[in-house]
Amino acid sequence: MSESLAGEESIASADPAAADPDMPLVNRLAMWAFSKAPERRRVWEGDEPPEHGMEFEDYMAYYRSQHTTNGIRATHLVGIPGAAAAIPILLVRPKVGAGVFVASWLLQVAGHKVFERNNPAFTKGLITYQLCGLAFWCEEVGDMAAGR
């Protein structure tokens, strides 16, 4: 297992959310994602995902290595918030929520098959890579907002 990092210092040491462990998880993920310039984000090198119990940054590096094309980024830019929005919709309009949820996931899986020719990362760790997906989405939206 190896990884690459643009720049000299560790990204983990630049984590602004690490200072406040009482901050809600969603806020920590957003702060973490927005604090990383794209050229400073690690990308995992190798075919195998990080071992269980490694740092979140290692999982993100692997997740990024599985999401490198513009096509996959576009499908996830729509699919991730679609799946997240479908969850509360399921409670009030189950058929609509289920349809949005399934369509959002199918879009993301199709993106993996068409653009990356790989399996979604959640097949390697359901909960861990769901959180990585949300953080990845925050990175992408932050990059767009910053004009990168």
pLDDT digits over 51-108, tens only?
888 889 999 999 999 998 889 999 999 999 999 999 999 999 999 999 999 999 999 9
Q: Where are the alpha helices (DSSP H) in 18-125?
A: 25-34, 56-65, 70-92, 94-111
Within a domain: residue 99? Answer: yes
pTM above 0.75, yes or no: no
Within a domain: residue 98? Answer: yes
Within a domain: residue 8? Answer: yes
- Which residues, at least 6 apart from 19, have a Cβ–Cβ distance to it below 8 Å? none
Within a domain: residue 41? Answer: yes
Within a domain: residue 52? Answer: yes
Q: Which domain holds residue 122?
A: 2-12+22-145
State how many domains the chain has. Answer: 1
Coil, helix or strand for 35?
Answer: coil
Question: What is the rounded average pLDDT for all residues in the chain?
Answer: 80
Cα(120)–Cα(43) distance, integer angstroms: 16
Within a domain: residue 100? Answer: yes
Within a domain: residue 47? Answer: yes
Within a domain: residue 114? Answer: yes
